[in-house]
Structure 1
Amino acid sequence: MTRTAREISEYGFYHVVQKGCGGQLIFEDEDDRLYLIRLIASKCQKFKVDVIAWCLMDNHIHLLLDDEHAHLSDCMHSITTAYAMYFNSKTGRKGPLFQDRFKSVPILDDDQLLNCVRYIHDNPAKARIDTASLYRWSSFSEYMGYPGICKTDCVLELLGNSQRFFAFSTSGEPNGYCFRYGAHVSDADALEFAQALLKPYEPHHLKALPKGVRDDCIRKLKSEGFSIKQIVRLTGIGHCTIQKVKIEK
């Protein structure tokens, strides 16, 4: 099967996600996480890729990388191969540890960059594990002044300082960024993305709005890749009503 070529970012930044094969856990303990963090640092240094943000979840990882020299694929291949060899040797398992090749989304402007950093750090909160500021296995603390593997200056310069980063990251405002590999919006991201897209309306408000306003909101959701079933779940509006709303070309 022919692989789809990766989208290229003229800005140089990429949001990268690597999942465990079949959703399996990729960490057994704290030592595994520390090993991967050190591996990311060393391989990124070798391939001249800057780490802007990171978060380790139980069965997948998020990275925001600055790939100025176009070494992203080689860098990620080196990281995942080395970690899989380590993990398989330690645990006695065989076969691929990671699910296919990594997925990446190009970051196109400063707003997307900032919201991507926030999105990455918010993963533990969305999974109901811990708040972004208290979760140990992400780069959030590095933006608050603790040493780590990230190059934080580009984000902090955009926001002003660490205090403003904290305020931005914990504002509670819906985040208009989500990881979109292709047109589809994942269920995990759908609600917050819809809230940001439809502001000042909440998705469940749509069914009480005037028909013209309601249909414009549905059209926005469809245009951004929401499926009809997702819109039904988010809004409570009937399937047939949503289907009749056409996207303007």
Structure 2
Amino acid sequence: MTRPLRVNFPGALYHVTSRGNRRAPIFRDDADRRIWLDVLAKVCERHHCVIHSFCQMTNHYHLLVETVEANLPSCMRQLNGHYSQHFNRRHRVVGHLFQGRYKAILVQKDSYLLEVSRYIVLNPLRANTVAALNEWRWSSYHYFIGDDVSPDWLERNWLLRQFGDTPTSAIVAYQNFVLAGLGQPSPFEATHHQILLGDETFISVHQQLQQSEELIETKRSERRAVALPLSDYQDRYPNRDEAMARAFASTAFTMSEIARVFGVSTKTVSRAVAGFEKANKS
């Protein structure tokens, strides 16, 4: 089983895919696709992430997303969670829409952004969904070639600048570049352990980060196994601030986890911890 990617940092670029549970469709019609785009726009606005390429297929989607902040898990939790709610409510169904956790690959921007963006928009042609790429409305391709007004969350200019100094020449060169990708090997054949795509230096640096994050998570899980459940802290300590501070002091829980259980913001948890530590200084 592929290990989930745990490397998060400001400016990170990821190729993200998410598939329907049991390969079932996640988009039944164009209305579903528009709803997903609306949810994506809200995610980008709230979490300050930027989309470089995307493609909606029938039972999955692709995103090339850059996180201005180190917050991919939050972005994806909102995207898949909110869209699932809309889908289930609209189609009057229950249960999981997506097949487990999304898959993310950390991508080296300078070396692989162009190739990965091309791979993403070529999906409808490779799947024989359409005969010509401009027939597929549900990808970033038609925004890049000027068939529609690009939304604010789609970073069009950076990519097109790699192909020409004027909009017209850049679009023509971009179209040629994309079509030249047909029949080419997938860039993901060079993926390291299915989570990193880049040159040797990039892989070495981020592999160490991945291992560090896994070690931190392992230690946290071990501490959590012997720690009190968060609900016990609520029962044991009537003072909410003390309960939150003692839960955090156990080192088994993050402030975000404590905030969710206690129904407060992480800022409130932080203040409680600081106040408790100050009051108990010897």
Partner of 1:178, secondary structure, is helix
- May I ask how many residue pairs the two structures share in their alignment? 184
The answer on 1:165 being equivalent to 2:174 is: yes
Name 1:138's counterpart in structure 2.
139
CA deviation profile, 1:116-149 (whole Å, cap 9, x unmatched): 0100001111111113332111010111122133
Q: Confirm or deny: 8 A CA contact 2:116 2:187 kept in the other structure.
A: yes
Name 2:26's counterpart in structure 1.
26
Q: Distance in 2 between matches of 1:179 and 1:8?
A: 23
Partner of 1:17, secondary structure, is strand
Aligned AA for 1:99? Q
Q: Confirm or deny: 8 A CA contact 2:48 2:69 kept in the other structure.
A: yes
Partner of 1:116, secondary structure, is helix
The alpha-carbon distance between structure 1 residues 159 and 143, as it changes in their structure 2 partners (threshold 3 A), is: same
Return 5+ residue gaps in structure 2 as ranges: 165-169, 195-282
CA apart distance, 1:173: 5.8
The answer on 1:101 being equivalent to 2:111 is: no
- Counterpart selection for 1:153 from 150, 153, 157: 157
CA apart distance, 1:4: 3.8
Q: Distance in 1 between matches of 2:190 and 2:92?
A: 35
Name 1:207's counterpart in structure 2.
none
CA deviation profile, 1:98-133 (whole Å, cap 9, x unmatched): 111111111114231001010000111111111333
RMSD: 2.4
Q: Distance in 2 between matches of 1:16 and 1:112?
A: 14
Name 2:129's counterpart in structure 1.
129
Name 1:114's counterpart in structure 2.
114
Q: Confirm or deny: 8 A CA contact 1:104 1:181 kept in the other structure.
A: no
Q: Distance in 1 between matches of 2:189 and 2:55?
A: 14
The alpha-carbon distance between structure 1 residues 5 and 17, as it changes in their structure 2 partners (threshold 3 A), is: closer
CA apart distance, 1:35: 0.7
Larger radius of gyration: 2
Aligned AA for 1:30? D
Aligned AA for 1:92? R
Q: Distance in 1 between matches of 2:12 and 2:84?
A: 27
Q: Confirm or deny: 8 A CA contact 2:5 2:104 kept in the other structure.
A: no
The alpha-carbon distance between structure 1 residues 144 and 158, as it changes in their structure 2 partners (threshold 3 A), is: same
Normalised TM-score (structure 1): 0.67
Aligned structure 1 segments of 4 or more residues deviating by more than 3 angstroms: 7-11, 179-184
Matches within 5 A, 1:51-90: 51-90=51-90
Q: Distance in 2 between matches of 1:81 and 1:154?
A: 30
Q: Confirm or deny: 8 A CA contact 1:105 1:180 kept in the other structure.
A: no
Identify the structure with the greater helix proportion: 2
Q: Confirm or deny: 8 A CA contact 1:11 1:107 kept in the other structure.
A: no
The alpha-carbon distance between structure 1 residues 40 and 180, as it changes in their structure 2 partners (threshold 3 A), is: farther
